[in-house]
Structure 1
Amino acid sequence: MPKFEVREFISFAVVGVINTATYYAFYLLGLKGLGLAYMIAHFGAVFLSMVISFFLNSYVTYKVKPTLKKFLIYPVTQLVNIVVTAVLLYLLVDGLGMSSTIAPLAALIITVPVTFVVTGKVLKAA
């Protein structure tokens, strides 16, 4: 793997930890603080953390200038990730009886490698 890709992956991992913490904080705020259903809390947290993720990945991970075009494309490319995470969340909570507090973390672990590749392609190309 070329050196710049290693740096990008490490940066992506650090940004991912920050983004996961941000997502989880928003998720718990919606779930526990506002009393929202877990799926509504999930989608609200996804939206808010996606905005933060866009800017962190633009500036820190891929070192590209965020533009309106990239900002508008970014959520579309993340749609697969959002759907897969939501399906996993549903399966883990309703199918396997996992706690709705822990399930998002398990679901996100599965989607990280795909998100790294897709995010890099979008932010570098657009």
Structure 2
Amino acid sequence: MRRTSQEFIRFVIIGGINTFNYYAVYLLLHMLLGWLYMPSHVIAFLVSFIISFFLNSYFTFKVKPTLAKFLKFPLSQVVNFTVSSLFMYVFIEYFQINSMITPILAVFVALPATFVVTSKIMKKESVSA
């Protein structure tokens, strides 16, 4: 149990770094370049996703990044992307929350489920053929 809690703490730290990366790209595209919020969200998510894979490999779960894990890693982000996208849409369109704030709110909603799925993918050993 202690190992899992330490991993979760590291996951939250890396999540903070990833959130900063995501938010910086999102603001650049949405506010500075005038892109719509959803394309800005998607591009920012993809950029932070790649950074996230390597940081979670080396720091959070302390495993060697492999091509197989990189190819499976998107599965860990399906929950994150789906939940965060849905909540961004709901927060902006139905609750009229500013599109500069919604990405941060959506991250907190998706965090616990994302940790569980990411942990399972990153720590699973590859099966040799």
TM interval, shorter chain, is: over 0.9
Runs of 4+ with >3 A deviation: none
Aligned match of 1:63: 62
**1:45-64 correspondence runs (5 A):** 45-64=44-63
Counterparts of 1:121 and 1:17 in 2: how far apart (Å)? Answer: 20
Counterparts of 1:72 and 1:34 in 2: how far apart (Å)? Answer: 31
Counterparts of 2:83 and 2:11 in 1: how far apart (Å)? Answer: 20
Instruction: Verify: 1:121 aligned to 2:120, yes or no.
Output: yes
Counterparts of 1:77 and 1:60 in 2: how far apart (Å)? Answer: 17
Structure 1, unpaired ranges of 5+: none
Instruction: Verify: 1:40 aligned to 2:39, yes or no.
Output: yes
Aligned match of 2:73: 74
Counterparts of 1:14 and 1:5 in 2: how far apart (Å)? Answer: 14
Task: Give aligned-pair identity as a percent.
Answer: 46
Counterparts of 2:100 and 2:85 in 1: how far apart (Å)? Answer: 14
Aligned match of 1:93: 92
Counterparts of 1:76 and 1:10 in 2: how far apart (Å)? Answer: 21
1:91/1:112 Cα in 2 relative to 1: closer, same or farther (>3 Å)?
A: same
Counterparts of 2:112 and 2:39 in 1: how far apart (Å)? Answer: 25
Structure 2, unpaired ranges of 5+: none
Question: How far apart are residue 51 of structure 1 and its match?
Answer: 0.4
Aligned match of 1:6: 5
Which moved further from structure 2: 54-63 or 27-36? 27-36
SS in 2 for 1:78: helix
Count of residue correspondences: 125
**CA RMSD after TM alignment:** 0.9
Question: How far apart are residue 80 of structure 1 and its match?
Answer: 2.2
Which moved further from structure 2: 97-106 or 28-37? 28-37
Aligned match of 2:28: 29
Aligned match of 2:18: 19
